[in-house]
């Protein structure tokens, strides 16, 4: 947006100019991104922008907005600039230490809640492996009344963000956080659980050239990549989860359609599991693997 001293900008003009600019310079939803950043700069809700179209923001807020628009055009994700992203209609604080929650992960939450409803136990014990922002664990804690969740992550900065999100949504008493590698992060002798959920890293380093620049330049490598082929962490997760699931318990994890066949084969070839099925995402792509822990 031109910075000529004599030019004044109304909220409507700022939105229109920025939408046009983003539609030429970024890959996202230009209007939505302009609204999110302007609402954040003005410390108001997006909807309020529409009732304040003729207002002229004060210069300090305009300067902040301008800086964000430049950074967005240079590739920084809007969620990191604004400091939050909505997941399952809840607001999650995010920063570059955590993956930005994705809509496809909501399918994992839906499947987990359905499974929890089918159980007659109290409390329902759940583990979320690689919790990141805590979007899965926190959402489940808000939706399942009688649950106790253990959330793990290898990244301590990520766990701090997840703890903050749990507190923000007032479910911190239902979630315990543990730093460390997959399920080894849990204390020795932890009780077996009814459900293990995970959105683990699943991009293979060999696929690096196919990954969007905005993702690979800004989101944490540790949240994205898993060995050369993307299956390394998932394979370990499948094996470790078998040790901690109760008979009849469920393992549910997100993965990429590209490696779905290999992930399904890994679960099917493990004698500990049965009833393996795949759930599609909003784009009709295979996205979530669900398996039941055998009775033996």
Ligand X SMILES: C[S@@+](CC[C@H](N)C(=O)[O-])C[C@H]1O[C@@H](n2cnc3c(N)ncnc32)[C@H](O)[C@@H]1O
Closest CA to 18 of 29, 32, 34: 34
Residue 281 touches ligand X, criterion: CB under 6 A: no
Q: For residues 179 and 61, what is the distance between their CA atoms, to the nearest angstrom? A: 38
Q: Which of 132, 204, 230, 249 binds ligand X (CB under 6 A)?
A: 132
Q: Which of 78, 79, 112, 135 binds ligand X (CB under 6 A)?
A: 135
Per-residue binding letters, 22-51, with ligand X (x by CB under 6 A): ------------------------------
Q: For residues 177 and 162, what is the distance between their CA atoms, to the nearest angstrom? A: 8
Taking the complex as a whole, the smallest distance from the CB of residue 254 to ligand X amounts, in Å, to: 7
Q: Which of 182, 196, 250, 266 binds ligand X (CB under 6 A)?
A: 182
- Where would I find the H helices in the chain? 11-25, 30-41, 46-49, 59-73, 78-82, 106-117, 135-143, 156-168, 213-218, 221-224, 232-244, 260-268
Taking the complex as a whole, the smallest distance from the CB of residue 36 to ligand X amounts, in Å, to: 18
Taking the complex as a whole, the smallest distance from the CB of residue 52 to ligand X amounts, in Å, to: 33
End-to-end CA distance of the chain, in Å?
A: 65
Taking the complex as a whole, the smallest distance from the CB of residue 262 to ligand X amounts, in Å, to: 17
Taking the complex as a whole, the smallest distance from the CB of residue 137 to ligand X amounts, in Å, to: 8
Give the DSSP per-residue string, 198-216. E----B-GGGGGGS-HHHH
Q: Which residues sit at the interface with ligand X, rule CB under 6 A?
A: 98-99, 101, 105, 130-133, 135-136, 152-155, 158, 181-182, 199-201, 222-223, 233
């Amino acid at each position: 947006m031109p910075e000529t001293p004599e030019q004044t900008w109304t909220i409507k003009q700022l939105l229109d100019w920025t939408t046009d600019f983003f539609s030429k310079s970024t890959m996202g939803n230009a209007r939505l991104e302009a609204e999110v950043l302007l609402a954040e700069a003005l410390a108001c809700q997006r909807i309020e922008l529409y009732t304040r179209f003729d207002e002229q923001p004060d210069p300090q807020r305009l300067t902040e907005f301008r800086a964000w628009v430049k950074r967005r055009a240079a590739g920084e994700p809007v969620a990191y600039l604004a400091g939050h992203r909505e997941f399952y209609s809840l607001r999650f604080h995010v920063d570059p230490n955590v993956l930005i929650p994705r809509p496809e992960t909501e399918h994992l939450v839906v499947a987990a809640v359905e499974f929890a409803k089918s159980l007659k136990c109290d409390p329902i014990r759940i583990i979320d492996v690689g919790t990141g922002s805590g979007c899965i664990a926190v959402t489940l804690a808000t939706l399942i009344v009688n649950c106790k969740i253990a959330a793990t992550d290898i990244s301590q900065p990520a766990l701090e963000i997840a703890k903050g999100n749990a507190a923000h949504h007032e479910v911190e008493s239902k979630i315990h956080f543990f730093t460390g590698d997959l399920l080894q992060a849990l204390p020795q002798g932890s009780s077996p659980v009814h459900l293990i959920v995970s959105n683990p890293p699943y991009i293979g380093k060999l696929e690096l050239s196919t990954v969007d620049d905005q993702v690979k330049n800004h989101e944490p490598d540790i949240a994205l990549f898993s060995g050369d082929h993307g299956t390394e962490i998932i394979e370990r997760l499948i094996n470790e989860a078998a040790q901690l699931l109760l008979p009849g318990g469920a393992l549910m994890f997100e993965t990429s359609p590209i490696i779905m066949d290999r992930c399904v084969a890994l679960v099917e070839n493990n004698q500990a599991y049965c009833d393996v099925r795949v759930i599609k995402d909003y784009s009709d792509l295979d996205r979530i693997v669900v398996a039941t822990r055998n009775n033996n």
